[in-house]
């Protein structure tokens, strides 16, 4: 089988089209893919590189080709240097993979709409879709997955499609699977529901879980399984970088917090007291700290507490998951899967489809999904046999 | 089916024989069983009172009769008052259930050997077994489960059976299922291996997980499933009460820590750097604080940390699990199960039999065990049908 | 000297008039004063009972007589039972000091204005002042200190005197020293400035520091003295009880947070990034948890962090300070001190007068203040000499 | 006055002789001195660069010349690169100050005794003293301060002088002021007491406080001043680097912990329950994490807790203090001060001389010391006037 995988890999190149392609997460994903491919780093944090995903026909990291949309114009190599200065990327890495960064940079097209842009939704969607199609044609790609890693946008006010939904519509129009790694609306817009359903494309999301919610998705089930009564669950997130600033907007934070609290309600079977704050602390740069405080009752009403403090680098947590998702969704598309990919709930705060909410159950669903891919012929190989 | 359950309950009384019957855990279990039976408190912390355990033929809480061994002679009602003063039991509860405490107190026989005791192992085992048989006969019990909740004893030095093993041997001799809620040797002694195997009795253990290890059994799998590389896992436990003093003995702590670290090795697939301390802090009384510090690598070697602080009342965490285990093991005995009950691994740091190490998988095994009980005729009912 | 102190004590009874007299802090102060007087508890948390305050002529605890205003009507003995149930007061204490609680309860008069109250400011002030004068006359008090321990009120909108200022004006009118233990306006109202200045009365405040700000007042100076550059200081307070609900109102929280942040600015010499949240978590009852996260730069820009978690019982922290302040302010009045008592800055987030901001310097100022009292003749004694 | 200071600076060069000259702290001190002198970084963490130390005649950073002893032979530029890779020094700094690192490297002489060394104590002391004198002569130094920043050595067993004391004796013999930044014995050896007294040299130490003990020296006084009863104070230190390995030796840790606990006893006036652990966690590199857990009683016995977590880079915390101490001790020598410099207690866990234990009081003593320096003629200037 390894031979045919190798054949597939050598022939098939898969596009990863990133919305927010000049952001920290996108830059780290591009840089990390190159670093791992070159053998400079182990694939720590990439679930698809662990044994349960062997022989599932996923596209090789070396076969991924990056491009995307962004409204900024800071070149990727420069962005990577800034990330290295902030300790997100290893020093020396940007220089070592300068060619790959430059290549991805050439694949980035202007996003929108920016203030003053007079183009209507239809024109924007068409422009974006054309960009994606050009990219695929130019590189001779078998397929392209569109992944939204842009800053969280404010909750849509209902009047028309928000930008994330314009990009999602463009993905469908270009015939591309779609992954929403952010809490932004994306495909979750009433105006896109029918389109998504009729497109025959697989899609996944929403809002990658990389820290506090990841913890909650294992701690919530623990309390529930032990029949301990959670009375209050309070949390504070401190984060700098662009994300901190974006989420300092209460409207944007509302979208994010809804996901965080949903995990608690779903795993505990009740909504505890307590709030979740997101603070913009520019001094933290790309690092974030999440503090959680849980008040629970034990036997006979005895009051107890659990506190957790998670200190992580958001981009380094998100980027390997973005690569995982691009590979899994590309392979799902190849395998003919359509609609919401509930098997990928492991990655999200607010998963599409009918999915369990505890991380353990989500992991089982994910390995089941991998098993399903393993037993599904690769389209490429099947076609090759004709 | 509820009719036959009711029939069973009304006829069968089940003994719970506690080694360390005057300790905090035992006193809380006796008091809590009475409080829940009387409707004074909800059964928070009792897993067997949650929906997956409905209709599994477990003995009702009201059918449990308590007795046990202890080397101390503080009366249970007085012990309960001391626990109420320390905030472990609700104020007023000891008075409200004075009759039940007094009844359990009458069921407690002297343990041993105390310094100066000239009885040999065989005599001690026979005395203990006779105590248990007398108890069962006196109360007309269908069966009696022996549960070790005594203070942790130092690691056996090999010369003869340690006290916990004498009690375990007595349980077998009296024909009783055995549960070891502590890290002491109990049935895990080479001299008892054959005896345990040939007894035809079910048994469970070892070392209830109620705090730090409970957390580790959900956090370890999280890191593994996310392919994050744990570099170091350090921990400090502060605890007062008798447990703190017992575990200040490095030999006793060694037994406990082995269990704590095994969970990490089993769930992570590697043994991280770091130590685990157990400090005796008498000022904490029955409360304990466990701090864990995890250093892990994310994508491209980025260093991150997780810290947890668990502040709980050990007795209030352990007591409902002791009641769970007494009920489940009694029902397993009734259902004809024998040998190590790996299905109860959910409760233990160092489970008997072949069991998974992540809490999620252990919970699934436990609910599977419950399902098996549900579909096994109750011995009492079967007899009643004859 | 001890003889004359004893003479003073035996003749002089001092009133403590509490605004918010049925609240947790007031009830704990009344109960604690009785408990310490009766020798049931050591005076832990009372700074005035430590050696630097010996022989300073402070009124004895046994000489204090309590009364006050409140808009609620729950009797103090019942309130004390509720606090004992919540673990704030020791079980059994309310019964042991039932007489003292009942006596204080008889001294409480209705506060205001409640919704629908048609009385104007002048009428309210006159009523409150009359209540205080009646109290002093009835008990034959040498002097009475008015202490505001009511729930924090929203920031005044400018239109007229807020309730806390009505009470403060009443204190002045009744010729009583005034202490504001809350962040409410009280005497800090432009309309009262001249009145306060011309009254010849001493006053102190504002906003007792009992947890997070107490910590900040020692940690801020530590960073400054070590020349470490604090970049961000973020905090979250979780608190239940009435205080949590009151401060869930952003307007009330604003007053409190201003004090918290002022301490940082004053001790650090700069205002760091970061927000401070106050969350209402009713499940915590009278307990509060304050988490602080400090990001600072060390040598050559190395990024470091300090986190603190303070878990305390607000009423138990505040009550002994209220007794301290009542005694110190009464003695200052006796000693003829007038105007803002900057020497009491040790107790407050936002101290009156010209006071240092580090706790160490404030403690020195406080012991200097005590020394000044020690060398000032007691008015009572002086009169007795006539 | 600035003119004469400038005259002094231009003529006087001051030596800093580091025991452990190739370690992390020494390398960071050398690199940091060069970086600040070159204007590449602000002097964050250097207390002597704050306003209270202006015009006190301290040697300029640019006048410091570095040398020292070490038993290792890794070149300083290479050591600096390793520190940059570990995030202790900024990337790019080693290259920017390559000349200064090379110059200091040339000033380092072999330490000892290494295993197999047959030289006796007298020979070693003489060799070390000759090294220091050669260094001073070679560079034409006005004076040289010897500072011990080597790894902590095990507690001396009494048989002869430990290495740290050999170096201290060599400092005295070479006529140099001595600073012990470690908990090792150094001058605190009975055999050196008379020598130190008769030498007429100033000396300072012992054991720089850079994290947990720094915190304790402000938190201990806070509890004492507020009359809160500390029941237990427990701590765990996780540290990698050479220090972690050295302190994993219980004998070495004992020396360090004695200092940590002395601060508590001195500031609280009592010794609380609780232990302090030092764990070697190589994965942490030069970073350390210190967790403290304080259990205290408030009013009426209410139990409360404070936890702190300090995450710092040990070398970055220590290095600026080493520069401070070298400057202050050199200036004290110039000003004719002799014997233990109690005014520098601010820097140490276990200060020499008669010094207060709270950081606030120590800071006052330090600024008083600075004032004394300010008003003492500079030897250089005095000579210049002749």
In tens, the pLDDT along D288-324 reads: 999 999 999 999 999 999 999 999 999 999 999 999 9
Contact indicator for A313, A88 with CB cutoff of 8 Å: yes
* D170 and D70 in a common domain: yes
- Whether C290 and C322 share a structural domain: no
Contact A282 C273 (CB under 8 A): yes
* CB-CB neighbors (< 8 A) of B236 in chain D: 234, 236, 277, 291, 293
Structure tokens at C198: 């011309």
Q: D105 and D9: one domain?
A: yes
A90 and A174 in one domain? yes
| Whether C307 and A305 lie within 8 Å, measured CB to CB | no
In sequence order, what DSSP letters do the residues of D71-136 get, joined into one string?
A: S----HHHHHHHHHHTTSS-TTHHHHTHHHHHHHHHTEEE--PPTT----HHHHHHHHHHHHHHHH
Collect all residues with Cβ–Cβ distance below 8 Å to C172 and sequence separation of at least 6.
Answer: C178, C187, C192, C195, C196, C199, C201
pLDDT in tens, B121-144: 999 999 999 999 999 999 999 999
Instruction: Give residue B11's pLDDT.
Output: 57
Residue ending a domain, choose from C284, C313, C342: C313
Same domain assignment for residues A275 and A298? yes
Chain D residues with CB under 8 Å of A87 CB are: 87
In this complex, which chains have at least 3 CB pairs below 8 Å with chain D?
A, B, C
Q: In residues, how long is chain A?
A: 386
Task: Specify burial of residue C134 (Cβ count, 10 A radius: 0-12, 13-18, 19+).
Answer: middle
How far is C142 from C144, CA to CA, in rounded Å? 7
Mean pLDDT of A188-210: 95
The average pLDDT across B235-239 equals 95
User: How many angstroms away from the CA of A231 is the closest CA of chain C?
Assistant: 6
From chain C, pick out residues whose CB is under 8 angstroms from the CB of A306: none
Sign, Cα dihedral of B52, B54, B56, B57: positive
What region, left, alpha or beta, does residue D96 occupy, with left being phi > 0 and alpha being psi -120 to 50 degrees? alpha
Helix (H, G, I), strand (E, B) or coil at D371: helix
What's the length of chain D?
386
Examine the domain organization and report whether D297 and D175 are in the same domain. Answer: no
| Cβ separation A238–C231 shorter than 8 A | no
Sheet holding A178-180, edge to edge: A108-110, A64-70, A14-19, A143-148, A178-180, A202-205, A339-340
Residues of B in contact with D305 (CB under 8 A): 289, 311
- Confirm if C276 and C261 have CB atoms less than 8 A apart: yes
B70 CB-near residues (< 8 Å, 6+ apart): B19, B20, B21, B22, B23, B26, B108, B110, B111, B150
In this structure, what token pair is assigned to residue D345? 């207690």
In tens, the pLDDT along D128-166 reads 999 999 999 999 999 999 999 999 888 767 778 999 999
Q: pLDDT band at residue A7, thresholds of 50, 70 and 90? A: very low
Q: What is the pLDDT of residue B257?
A: 76
Question: Structure pTM?
Answer: 0.93
**Phi/psi of residue D106, nearest 5 degrees:** -65, -20
- Cβ contact (<8 Å) for B284 and D232? yes
CA C240 from centroid of its chain's CA atoms: 19
In chain B, the percentage of residues whose pLDDT exceeds 70 is 93
- Spell out the per-residue pLDDT of chain C, length 386, in tens: 333 333 344 458 999 999 999 999 999 999 999 999 999 999 999 999 999 999 999 999 999 999 999 999 999 999 999 999 988 999 999 999 999 999 999 999 999 899 899 999 999 999 999 999 999 999 999 999 999 999 988 876 777 899 999 999 999 999 999 999 999 999 999 999 999 999 999 999 999 999 899 999 999 999 999 999 999 999 999 998 767 777 777 777 777 777 778 889 999 999 999 999 999 999 998 899 999 999 999 999 999 999 999 999 999 999 999 999 999 999 999 999 999 999 999 999 999 999 999 999 999 999 999 999 998 876 544 333 32
Least confident of A6-15, A115-124, C314-323, D297-306: A6-15
DSSP annotation of A62 reads G
Interface residues of C toward B, Cβ cutoff 8 Å, are 84-85, 87, 91, 309
- Residue pointed to by tokens 């203040």: C369
A chain contacts of residue C291, beta-carbon cutoff 8 Å: 236, 291, 293, 307
Task: Give the C-alpha separation, C68 to C62, whole Å.
Answer: 18
CATH classification at residue D79: 3.40.50.720
Which residue on chain A is closest to D309 by alpha carbon? A309
Identify from A26, A88, A217, A299 which residue to disrupt to test chain B contact, counting B C-beta atoms within 10 A and taking the largest count. A299
* Domain housing C48: 2-208+316-385
Percent pLDDT > 90 in chain B is 83
Contacts of C289 in chain A (CB under 8 A): 293, 305
Residues of chain A whose C-beta is under 8 A from some C-beta in D?
Answer: 84-85, 87, 91, 309
Say yes or no for a CB contact (<8 Å) between B295 and D283.
Answer: yes
The residue-averaged pLDDT of B59-64 equals: 97
Question: Quick one: closest CA in A to D311, which residue?
Answer: A311
With CA atoms as reference, the chain C residue closest to A229 would be: C283
Instruction: Please tell me whether residues D310 and D355 are part of one structural domain.
Output: no
The verdict on a CB contact (< 8 Å) between D87 and A87 is yes
Q: Do C304 and D297 touch (CB under 8 A)?
A: no
Based on its alpha-carbon atoms, the radius of gyration of chain A, rounded to whole angstroms, reads 21
Peptide bond into A206 cis (omega under 30): yes
C34 interaction partners in chain D (CB closer than 8 Å): none
Angle, vertex CA D342, rays to CA D340 and CA D348, nearest 5 = 105
Task: Calculate what percentage of chain A has a pLDDT beyond 70.
Answer: 93
From residue B12, alpha-carbon distances to A169, B5, B7, B141 in Å are: 66, 10, 9, 7
Q: What pLDDT digit, counting tens, does each position of B257-273 carry?
A: 777 788 899 999 999 99
**Same structural domain for residues B174 and B236?**
no
Give the whole-angstrom CA distance, residue A349 versus residue C257: 32
Residue B220 burial by CB count (10 A; 0-12/13-18/19+): exposed, middle or buried? buried
Q: Are residues C19 and C142 in the same domain?
A: yes
- In this structure, the answer to whether residues C40 and C109 fall within a common structural domain is yes
Phi, psi at residue A269, to the nearest 5°? Answer: 80, 10
Residues A353, A304 share a domain:
no
C263, C280, C313: which is the final residue of a domain? C313
Determine whether the interchain pair C309/D307 forms a contact, defined as Cβ–Cβ distance below 8 Å: yes
CATH code (residue A223): 3.30.360.10
> What pLDDT is attached to residue D381?
42
Q: Using CA coordinates, name the residue in chain D closest to A90.
A: D85
* Arithmetic mean of pLDDT, A269-273: 93
The number of domains in chain D is 2
| CB < 8 Å to D309, chain A | 309
CA contacts within 13 A on the Cβ side of B331: 31
Same-domain check for residues A38 and A138:
yes
pLDDT score at D158: 72
For residue B238, which of B289, B169, B171 has the smallest C-alpha distance? B289
List Cα–Cα distances, C361 to A375, B341, C208, D215, in angstroms.
Answer: 74, 64, 17, 17
Report yes or no: B275 and D279 within 8 Å, Cβ to Cβ: yes
**Cα–Cα distance measured from residue B75 to residue B65, given in angstroms and rounded to the nearest whole number:** 17
Predicted local distance difference test score (pLDDT) of residue C158: 72
Token pair of C85, please?
């149930």
pLDDT per residue as tens, chain D (386 positions): 333 333 344 458 999 999 999 999 999 999 999 999 999 999 999 999 999 999 999 999 999 999 999 999 999 999 999 999 988 999 999 999 999 999 999 999 999 899 899 999 999 999 999 999 999 999 999 999 999 999 988 876 777 899 999 999 999 999 999 999 999 999 999 999 999 999 999 999 999 999 899 999 999 999 999 999 999 999 999 998 767 777 777 777 777 777 778 889 999 999 999 999 999 999 998 899 999 999 999 999 999 999 999 999 999 999 999 999 999 999 999 999 999 999 999 999 999 999 999 999 999 999 999 999 998 876 544 333 32
Q: Is C99 exposed, middle or buried (0-12, 13-18, 19+ CB in 10 A)?
A: exposed
Residue bearing tokens 């002391």: D125
Distance from CA of C15 to the nearest CA of D (A): 21
**pLDDT tens per residue across span D347-370:** 999 999 999 999 999 999 999 999
Give B310-325 pLDDT, tens digit per residue: 999 999 999 999 999 9
| Mean pLDDT, rounded, for A82-103 | 95
**Residue of C267, C273, C271, C235 whose CA lies nearest to C253:** C235
CB C232 within 8 A of CB C295: yes
Taking an 8 Å cut-off on Cβ atoms, the answer to whether D215 and C47 are in contact is: no
Instruction: Round to whole Å and give the CA distance between C159 and B320.
Output: 58
How far is Cα C173 from Cα B63, in angstroms, rounded to an integer?
70
Helix (H, G, I), strand (E, B) or coil at A161: coil
In B, minimum Cα distance to A209 occurs at B226
Position A376 scores a pLDDT of: 83
**How many interchain CB pairs under 8 A, A with B?**
178
Supply the pLDDT for residue C378: 65
pLDDT in tens, A215-260: 999 999 999 999 999 999 999 999 987 677 777 777 777 777 777 7
Boundary-marking domain end, from B250, B284, B313: B313
Among B236, B272, B311, the residue with its CB nearest the CB of D236 is: B236
Which residues lie below 8 Å from residue D260, measured CB to CB, with a gap of 6+? Answer: D212, D213, D216, D235, D276, D349
**B contacts of D239 (beta carbons < 8 Å):** none
For chain A, the average pLDDT equals: 91
Bond into C228 cis (ω within 30): no
């Amino acid at each position: 089988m390894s031979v045919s995988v190798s054949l597939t890999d050598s022939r098939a190149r898969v596009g990863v089209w990133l919305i927010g392609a000049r952001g920290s997460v996108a830059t780290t994903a591009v840089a990390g893919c190159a670093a791992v491919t070159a053998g400079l780093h182990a694939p720590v944090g990439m679930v698809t590189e662990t044994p349960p995903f062997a022989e599932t026909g996923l596209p090789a990291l070396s076969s991924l080709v990056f491009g995307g949309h962004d409204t900024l114009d800071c070149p990727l190599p420069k962005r990577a240097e800034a990330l290295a200065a902030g300790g997100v990327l290893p020093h020396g890495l940007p220089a070592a993979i300068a060619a790959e960064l430059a290549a991805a940079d050439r694949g980035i097209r202007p996003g929108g709409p920016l203030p003053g842009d007079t183009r209507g939704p239809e024109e924007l969607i068409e422009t974006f879709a054309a960009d994606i199609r050009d990219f695929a044609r130019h590189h001779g790609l078998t397929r392209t997955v569109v992944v939204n890693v842009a800053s969280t946008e404010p909750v849509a006010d209902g009047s028309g499609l928000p930008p994330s939904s314009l990009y999602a519509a463009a993905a469908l129009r270009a015939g591309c699977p779609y992954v929403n790694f952010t809490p932004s609306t994306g495909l979750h817009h009433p105006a896109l529901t029918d389109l998504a359903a009729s497109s025959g494309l697989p899609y996944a999301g929403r809002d990658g879980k990389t820290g506090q919610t990841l913890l909650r998705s294992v701690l919530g089930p623990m309390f529930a399984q032990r029949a301990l009564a959670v009375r209050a669950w309070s949390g504070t997130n401190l984060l700098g970088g662009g994300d901190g600033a974006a989420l300092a907007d209460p409207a944007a934070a509302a979208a994010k917090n809804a996901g965080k609290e949903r995990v608690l309600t779903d795993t505990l079977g009740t909504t505890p007291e307590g709030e979740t704050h997101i603070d913009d602390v520019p001094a933290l740069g790309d690092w974030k700290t999440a503090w959680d405080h849980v008040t629970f009752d034990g036997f006979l009403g005895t009051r107890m507490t659990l506190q957790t403090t998670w200190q992580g680098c958001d981009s380094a947590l998100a980027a390997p998951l973005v690569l995982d998702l691009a590979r899994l969704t590309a392979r799902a598309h190849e395998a003919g899967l359509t609609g919401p990919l509930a098997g990928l709930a492991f990655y999200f705060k607010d998963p599409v489809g009918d999915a369990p909410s505890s991380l353990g159950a989500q992991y089982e669903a994910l390995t089941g999904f991998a098993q399903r891919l393993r037993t599904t012929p690769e389209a490429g190989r099947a076609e090759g046999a004709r």
